[in-house]
């Protein structure tokens, strides 16, 4: 269902997102992009979820959760890395939009993670182009996973998402304030390209 029909509470919103993903897996998606769902959106937005995701074209947020226009405030960067613009965008959304779930979404076969792994394994040098900060930041998470004895790219992807969640909670005061008030749930997850399912990695304020 469109998230506009879901109560402004963290658990119902998270449940609705999980249900939407299950509809995609089962092949039972419902139409959420018809014109009548856009009625009233010109007057403002009222998203229930804020999503920070990787920019990969294979993981379209609205499609994989079977949600539609106005349902999600989405920020996307390669490897879902954080910078000042991303943090400011998150802060704006949290303060102004009354969303109830903040979702950090990584995905299977992430190119940024693969590039970082190639650098750590000595198979490639750090790029000298504008892409360098992406690889540097993701490589830190891959290194942390290695320190835990994990060497699979999937584990690097999971660690990258976990680190992003931790950094957001630490760097954006509004996150902790809304968690404490019960108005927000924070989720770290990983989208699996081969099954269309979403693997939950960490939950704060929802279950």
Q: How many CB atoms are located within 10 Å of the residue 41 CB?
A: 12
107 is in an annotated binding site: yes
3-class secondary structure per residue, 99-163: CCEEEEEEECCCHHHHHHHHHHCCCCCCCCCCCHHHHHHHHHHHHHHHHCCCCCHHHHHHHHHHH
152 is in an annotated binding site: no
204 is in an annotated binding site: no
Query: Rg (Cα) of the chain, in Å, rounded?
Result: 17
56 is in an annotated binding site: yes
Angle at 121 between CA 120 and CA 123, to 5 degrees: 110
Paired with 72 in beta bridges are: 49
Binding residues: 54, 56, 107, 110
Binding residues for Zn(2+): 54, 56, 107, 110
């Amino acid at each position: 269902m469109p998230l506009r029909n879901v109560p402004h509470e963290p658990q119902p919103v998270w449940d609705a997102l999980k249900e939407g993903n299950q509809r995609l897996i089962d092949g039972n998606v419902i139409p959420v992009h018809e014109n009548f769902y856009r009625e009233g959106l010109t007057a403002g937005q009222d998203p229930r979820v804020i999503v920070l995701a990787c920019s990969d074209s294979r993981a379209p947020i609205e499609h994989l959760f079977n949600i539609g226009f106005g349902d999600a405030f989405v920020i996307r960067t390669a490897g879902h890395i954080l910078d000042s613009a991303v943090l400011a965008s998150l802060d704006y959304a949290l303060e102004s939009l009354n969303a109830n779930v903040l979702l950090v979404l990584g995905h299977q076969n992430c190119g940024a993670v693969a590039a970082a792994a190639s650098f750590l394994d000595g198979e490639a040098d750090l790029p000298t182009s504008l892409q360098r900060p992406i690889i540097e930041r993701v490589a830190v998470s891959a290194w942390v996973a290695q320190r835990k004895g994990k060497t699979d790219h999937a584990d690097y992807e999971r660690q990258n998402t976990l680190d992003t969640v931790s950094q957001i909670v630490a760097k954006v005061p509004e996150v902790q304030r809304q968690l404490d008030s019960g108005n927000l749930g924070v989720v770290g997850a990983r989208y699996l390209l081969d099954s269309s399912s979403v693997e939950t990695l960490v939950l704060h304020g929802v279950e």
